[in-house]
Amino acid sequence: MNYTIIIPLFNEELNVIKLHEELLKALDDDYFKNKKFEIIYVDDGSKDNTFEKISSIVQTNIPVVKVKHRKNVAQSVAIQTGSNFSNYENLIFMDGDLQNDPKDIVKLIKVFEDGSDLTIGWRKSRQDPFFSKTLPSLIANFIVRVFTNSKIHDHGCALKILKKKVFVSVTEFGADFHRLFAARAADLGFKITEIEVSHRKRIFGKSNYGFSRVIKVLMDIIYLGFLKNKSKSLYYFGILGFSSFILSFLTFAIMLYFKFAANQSFILTPLPTLVVFLLMAGLNFILIGVVVQVFINSSNKNDKQADDEIIEKIIDGRSQ
């Protein structure tokens, strides 16, 4: 089997060179001597010198493709771009922040080649701040397992190996939709395996994820019940919708306080009307988001093709 390694990048200038060195070292394994690899880096509109760093990578026996987006679009779109440029039948995804250990690739491939359609890592011992990253991830993974057929522990692990046909079948890509990739593949009946992988502390750069991930996962799950999406507008309406629900709950709590703690009537206040208004507003925001996403999805006939307008530069080491 041959593999394309796809690594989306955003502001990782301090990590990418070391990552490439570790990757080449990990692939220099006797187990891989009869396999072919190519590496595709996709710079998703970094504000720093990430693309300059990957441009300086010297070609070896493993060809490297370097793609730059004109602006920051989304990690899922960067992965899609990498897939569009891939030549091989199997794909390997990993992050560019050095928290994934390239040495884990060999054990993932061994499990994958034992008959899986998708093999995903499980960061059982995460090296992240608990409240800002680990806790939101635990909540999001619990929600996904409750509302989908997936039994995966760690849907957010970037390190995964899959057949290209699985990627083609799973079309639900949006700003954060790669987080539900394994869940959607499970819903489609593909064979998925999970294996524990190493997880390292982030040394350089900063993460862009937190509790907002939970809301995005909730919105992705809601949309899975309709048609599948590809852009960010559902998240915007989702944030407004869930914010309205929270405000409605808080207003209702104030009503209860007036009634039972302060022993005052709230009948002559606008609180009951406000509760109903916020509740209905939240529901409407979510429904509007879904309708907008369906419209966007139906108007984009060529979702699976990289949009030339977002690609600023390509350096294809395979042609050198």
pLDDT at 294 over 50: yes
Predicted pLDDT at 298: 60
Residue 36 pLDDT more than 90?
A: yes
Q: Between 310 and 212, whose confidence is greater?
A: 310
Residue 273, number of CB atoms within 10 A of its CB: 10
pLDDT at 175 over 60: no
* Token digits of residue 88: 């091989």
Q: Is the pLDDT of residue 227 over 60?
A: no
Q: How many CB atoms lie within 10 A of CB 263?
A: 7
Yes or no: say if 118 and 151 are a contact pair by the CB < 8 Å rule.
no
Phi-psi label, residue 308: left if phi above 0, alpha if psi -120 to 50, beta otherwise: alpha
- Nearest to residue 175, comparing CAs of 199, 208, 126, 203? 208
38, 39, 44, 98, 193 from 88: Cα distances, Å: 8, 11, 22, 24, 21
Residue keyed to tokens 């220099």:
28
Digit-coded pLDDT (tens) for 95-127: 999 999 999 999 999 999 999 999 999 999 888
- pLDDT on residue 173: 47
Q: Which of 7-16, 130-139, 141-150, 292-301 has the lowest mean pLDDT?
A: 292-301
| Pair type for strands 90-93 and 3-9 | parallel
Strand, helix or coil for residue 261:
helix
Mean pLDDT of 74-88: 92
What number of CA atoms fall less than 13 Å from residue 183's CA on the CB side? Answer: 25
Using a cut of 0.85, tell me whether the model's pTM lies above it. no
With contact defined as beta carbons under 8 Å apart, do 52 and 313 qualify?
A: no
- Give the pLDDT score at 160: 97
- What DSSP line would sit under 71-114, residue for residue? S---HHHHHHHHHHH--SSEEEE--SSS-S-GGGHHHHHHHHTT
pLDDT of residue 267: 80
Q: Which range scores top for mean pLDDT: 85-94, 141-150, 185-194, 259-268?
A: 85-94
Query: What pLDDT, in 10s, does the model give residues 242-276?
Result: 899 999 999 999 988 888 888 887 787 888 999 99
Check pLDDT > 70 for residue 287.
yes
Kindly tell me if the per-residue pLDDT of 308 is higher than 90. no
- Distances in Å between the Cα of 89 and the Cα atoms of 27, 108, 109, 266, 282 are 18, 16, 13, 65, 44
Phi and psi (nearest 5°) for 10? -150, 110
Count CB-CB contacts under 10 A for residue 214.
18
Q: What is the pLDDT of residue 174?
A: 47
